[in-house]
Amino acid sequence: MSHSTSSALPKIAILASGRGSNFDAIADAVAQGKLAAEIVCVLSDRADAPVLTKASARGLRAIHVAPPATSAGDLDSRRRVHDQEVVTALRAVQAEWIVMAGYMRVVTPVLLDAFKVQSGDYSRVVNIHPSLLPAFPGVESYQRAFEHGCALAGVTVHLVSEGVDAGPICAQESFAIGECRDVAEIERLGLAIEHRLYPQTLQWLLHQNFKLVQHKERLSVRKS
């Protein structure tokens, strides 16, 4: 598979499982010329995901790839089979980058290897996570920050590698939650940041305006 981004606009596939507010923010940024990219499809593991309806309403290609039935093997092999079907679908639309926005699945090397750059340093797969990673990986991160009594919560955009929410950090932003009375308030504040930070970060990331920095524990991605 070619990963060339020499075409005028990088071709992105958005992977999402649910509501799709980040998809909306990205699609708006593209429409407004703030993000120079072409959305070649929106793909979901859930047939009833509102994000698919939103994509179709914008005239974008909406693709559903159902995960294998739980009777079809162990969890890891089912994940791999699903990822292979996703890769096939994304190749068909010539996606160059995968942009995850609320995609509620653990991905395997099948998908990561298909989008690996030639140097092998990273895969062209990006995610947004609602915490200051490495704090609170996994689900319900805003809720866990609230329940923990944190004074700050945050948002992280990162490249995806094996492991849950574990890849190189591209951008982070924190916000104060000490005065928040419930999780809904935190989520409202956080999503407003997500919807700005994700398109902004994608604009330099997709156009390769970054350098990789090796730290003691892992790589990070810094805007250059």
Residues near ligand GRF (CB under 6 A) are 16, 18-22, 101-102, 128-130, 194
Q: Which is nearer to ligand GRF, 3 or 19 (CB)?
A: 19
How near is the Cβ of 50 to ligand GRF at its closest, in Å? 8
- Of the residues 3, 64, 129, 148, which is catalytic? 129
Torsion of CA 205, 208, 211, 216, to 10 degrees: 50
Nearer to ligand GRF among residue 101 and residue 112 (C-beta): 101
Nearest approach, Cβ of 49 to ligand GRF (angstroms)? 8
User: Would residue 3 show up in a list of annotated catalytic residues for this protein?
Assistant: no
Pick 21 or 123: Cβ nearer ligand GRF: 21
Could you tell me the two tokens for 155?
């948002």
Tokens encoding 110: 């099948």
Residue 42 beta carbon to ligand GRF: minimum distance, rounded to whole angstroms: 11
Q: Show which residues are catalytic.
A: 129
